[in-house]
Structure 1
Amino acid sequence: MKATPPAPMNGRKAQAARNDQVILEAARAVFVADPGAPVSAVAERAGVGISALYRRYAGKEDLLRKLCADGLKRYIAEAEAALADEGDPWTAFTAFMRRVVDADVHSLTINLAGTFTPTEDLYRDSAHASELATRVFDRARNAGVLRPGLNVADMAMIFDQLSAVHLGDETRTSQIRRRYLALILDAMHLTSAEPLPGPAPDAEEITRRWTAG
């Protein structure tokens, strides 16, 4: 049976949806650059009145939680896509890493963590994302395509480091991130390499990234 397409939104609903998207895009740009920025900076960048913003979000914390939730959902979707890829394990693993870096997921999750109070939904999504990431990593490790001594926490730290690269120009930032991801992936693929110095981050150190201070 052919699916019935969703009914088109009326003019007012369509405009509200567009306004919401503009606000979220502005919030992403403002808070990724400066998590301490006031919510008024979001309204100014979005070109909407502050009252229009507050009709959608009760305050800055609501906006930050929404951005973080969107980032987690994108990460989960990319991990699920990697696990559904039944092709070459190394290709699936590297494609996952590239998609996460290109989506700038960690600018919306870890980089904003500690700037708002997480909800139970966020904790649940974070745990699910972590479980999926472990499965993605374990698949590559079990296939023998990863350097000995790596673990899933190393992957998380690599995402953190690359998300910290901001050059003021989106295109150039993306180029530089891809450049260093390529170098990192080569290093991760050196299956005959010497052991890495020091242990990988432990669970407590990874979780600490979500807390303020």
Structure 2
Amino acid sequence: MPRADAARNRSLVIDAAAAELAEHGLDVSVARIATRAGVAKGTVFNHFANKEDLIAAIFCDQLATLSATGEALLTHPSPREALHEFMTAGAELQAGDRSLCAAVTATSRDHPMIREASDRLADVAEQLTARARQIGAIRRDVTGRDIVLLLGAPTTIATPVASACPDLWRRYLHLILDALRPEAARPLPVAAPTSRDFTAAPDTRTTSAT
């Protein structure tokens, strides 16, 4: 197959997979992805050894985009607004993609590509959080790992009524942002998760390649 055709097919597969994952989550099959891409199932495996590698490629692109957004916000003059914008970007990305939360909340952490991309995101989140803590904009016991996990909360909370109220996640995002303020903060009953906790998180992804 000519190189140009191979590159085109790979692009078709990635675009189709991204769309299917966003709409249907991790349980989508390779056969369905291939159909949407207009290629044979074997073509998918010509470019990706397995479904996990295909998912990893898509997740890593999404996580890299969010990390880049966070890195750009590190120079924002207001640490509070920078953290708010980062969390809004993360929540908005997940609101449009049912599968991304799985990567952000560590259910696919055993894949080395996703682990590396997730670690980068956590590092950026910690830098943004540290800036906000330093000026007293958020409670002192909030960590970057807390922020990463909270990115998926607004969408998850609004899921039962998402079809009727597609923007409802914004309400819960603002409730979360208000809850991060230091005013009237009470001691938390459990410590924040560590990087080791993320690595040890159970893997609930689908491994079906049919």
TM-score w.r.t. length of structure 2: 0.76
Q: 1:99 aligns with which of 82, 89, 108?
A: 89
- CA distance 1:170–1:84, change in 2 (3 Å): farther
RMSD: 3.1
1:117-196 equivalent positions in 2, closer than 5 A: 117-119=110-112, 121-164=113-156, 165-166=158-159, 172-173=165-166, 175-189=167-181, 191-196=182-187
Shift of 1:136: 0.8
Identity, % of aligned pairs?
A: 25
| 1:1-42 Cα shifts (integer Å, max 9, x gaps) | xxxxxxxxxxx83x7656544432332343353423321111
Contact 1:43 1:53 in 2 (8 A): yes
Shift of 1:180: 1.1
Residue aligned with 1:157, SS: helix
Residue aligned with 2:151, SS: helix
Query: Post-superposition, which runs of at least 4 consecutive aligned residues in structure 1 deviate over 6 A?
Result: 167-171
Contact 1:93 1:140 in 2 (8 A): yes
Contact 1:23 1:42 in 2 (8 A): yes
Contact 1:43 1:50 in 2 (8 A): yes
CA distance in structure 1 between the partners assigned to 2:169 and 2:42 by the alignment: 37
Gaps of 5+ in 2: 205-210
Residue aligned with 2:185, SS: coil
Report the equivalent of 2:21: 31
- CA distance 1:137–1:117, change in 2 (3 Å): closer
Shift of 1:146: 0.6
Shift of 1:144: 0.8
Gaps of 5+ in 1: 1-11
Residue aligned with 1:109, SS: helix
1:41-60 equivalent positions in 2, closer than 5 A: 41-60=32-51
CA distance in structure 2 between the partners assigned to 1:29 and 1:42 by the alignment: 9
CA distance in structure 2 between the partners assigned to 1:196 and 1:16 by the alignment: 56
Contact 1:149 1:195 in 2 (8 A): no
Contact 1:61 1:117 in 2 (8 A): no
Q: Which amino acid in structure 2 is aligned with residue 80 of structure 1?
A: E
- Structure with larger RCO (C-alpha < 8 A, sep 6+): 2
Contact 1:39 1:59 in 2 (8 A): no
Number of residue pairs the alignment of both structures matches = 196
CA distance in structure 2 between the partners assigned to 1:42 and 1:167 by the alignment: 26
CA distance in structure 1 between the partners assigned to 2:30 and 2:197 by the alignment: 31
Q: Which amino acid in structure 1 is aligned with residue 173 of structure 2?
A: L
Q: 2:72 aligns with which of 60, 81, 86?
A: 81
Contact 1:27 1:42 in 2 (8 A): yes
